[in-house]
Amino acid sequence: MTGKLYIVGVGPGHHDHMTFRAKQVIGESDTIVGYETYVNLVQDLIEGKTVHRYAMTQEVERAHQCIDLAKSGKIVSLVSSGDPGIYGMAGLIYETLAESGWNPKDDLQVEIVPGVSALNSCASIIGSPLMTDFAVVSMSDLLVPWEIISKRVEAAAQGDFVIVIYNPASKKRIHQLQDTRKVLLKYRKPTTPVAIIKGAFRESETIVMTDLENLPDHSDQLGMISTVIIGNSSTYTYKDLMINPRGYKSKYNLEEQTNPDLKV
């Protein structure tokens, strides 16, 4: 029997938004592996299957078990929140396989099933903040030194990118977002719009619209399932939405907004 390994994005966290292919391969699989929180998101889809649940810091163990199970003939779905290729398990799986001399054409079959990443789902909830170029930065310095992350933040700030921040804070990760805010205030107005989306498309979803000046007042909303979107010099808010102009106004002579709810 030939096994197969699916690396499945089940994001953003609600079945209505999970891709058809993600549901299909989970149904085909006899074995499910994943971080416990992500496995719980698909609990009703995996009844009767063999399930291996892992804690947050056991990524390497997860990768090795998935590969071993698939090589033994199992059809395995490694579930990942959002998209497995964006801060997910896809990279670690391919790194592990590459070190073993794996040949994609002849050896174990591996398929990445893309999902809806946090940047997509969170942006859709708060409006249209990603209409122009944006940068995505994780505040987690477990694998990337903080000095490098800080340089990336500075470069994105100088380039006037809208910035999406993954993993903004944890019990041990306190100063990173605070330092990022200080860097951004060198280049952006204190009134620059900021959105904090926690648990997007899950029952626990919360949304806070604020700005760079008042971001520290909402530290209770920051955590591992939170995403922070920070606007650039063109971003504005309208009725609790964050909008980044695409440039059509000048092309099509759209009328200037005069609504008092519009804040630039």
Q: What does pLDDT average to over the chain?
A: 91
Residue 168: pLDDT over 70: yes
User: 94 and 127: one domain?
Assistant: no
Looking at 29-38, 129-138, 142-151, 254-263, which range is the least confident one? 254-263
- pLDDT digit string (tens) for 63-111? 999 999 999 999 999 998 899 999 999 999 999 999 999 999 999 999 9
Looking up residue 209, the CATH number of its domain turns out to be: 3.30.950.10
Q: Establish if 212 belongs to a structural domain.
A: yes
Last residue of a domain, one of 70, 85, 116: 116
Confidence of residue 262 (pLDDT cuts 50, 70, 90): low
User: 127 and 242: one domain?
Assistant: yes
Contacts 24+ apart (CB under 8 A), 19-28: 19/113, 19/114, 19/115, 19/116, 21/113, 22/113, 22/115, 25/77, 25/111, 25/113, 26/77, 26/79, 28/75
Q: 173, 188 in Cβ contact below 8 A?
A: no
Q: Establish if 102 belongs to a structural domain.
A: yes
Q: Establish if 223 belongs to a structural domain.
A: yes
- β-sheet bridge partners, residue 31: 50, 76
Q: Establish if 35 belongs to a structural domain.
A: yes
Confidence of residue 191 (pLDDT cuts 50, 70, 90): very high
pTM (two decimals): 0.89
User: 230 and 152: one domain?
Assistant: yes
Q: Establish if 209 belongs to a structural domain.
A: yes
CA distances to 126, 180, 245 from 74, in Å = 41, 44, 49
User: 68 and 165: one domain?
Assistant: no
pLDDT value, residue 253: 60
pLDDT value, residue 158: 97
Q: 2, 20 in Cβ contact below 8 A?
A: no
The pair of three-digit structure tokens given for residue 165, joined into one six-digit string: 């921040």
Looking up residue 80, the CATH number of its domain turns out to be: 3.40.1010.10
Alpha carbon 180 to its chain's center: 18
Q: How many structural domains comprise the chain?
A: 2
- pLDDT digit string (tens) for 175-190? 999 999 999 999 999 9
Closest C-alpha among 204, 197, 193, 237 to residue 221:
197
User: 218 and 237: one domain?
Assistant: yes
User: 235 and 134: one domain?
Assistant: yes
- pLDDT digit string (tens) for 2-47? 799 999 999 887 888 899 999 999 999 999 999 998 898 899 899 9
User: 57 and 159: one domain?
Assistant: no
How does DSSP assign 230-259, residue by residue? E--TT-EEETTEEE---SHHHHHTPPPP--
User: 137 and 111: one domain?
Assistant: no
User: 43 and 15: one domain?
Assistant: yes
pLDDT value, residue 202: 87
pLDDT value, residue 48: 93
Q: 232, 244 in Cβ contact below 8 A?
A: yes
Helical ranges in the chain per DSSP H: 20-28, 36-41, 59-71, 90-99, 118-126, 146-158, 175-184, 248-252
Residue 264: pLDDT over 60: no
Q: Establish if 25 belongs to a structural domain.
A: yes
Residue 41: give the domain boundaries: 4-116
Angle at 54 between CA 222 and CA 199, to 5 degrees: 25
User: 112 and 163: one domain?
Assistant: no
Type of residue found at 238: Y
Q: Establish if 260 belongs to a structural domain.
A: no
Residue 261: pLDDT over 60: no
How many residues does the structure list for the chain? 264
pLDDT value, residue 247: 74
- Rounded Cα gap, residues 146 and 141, in angstroms: 5
User: 27 and 50: one domain?
Assistant: yes
User: 102 and 133: one domain?
Assistant: no
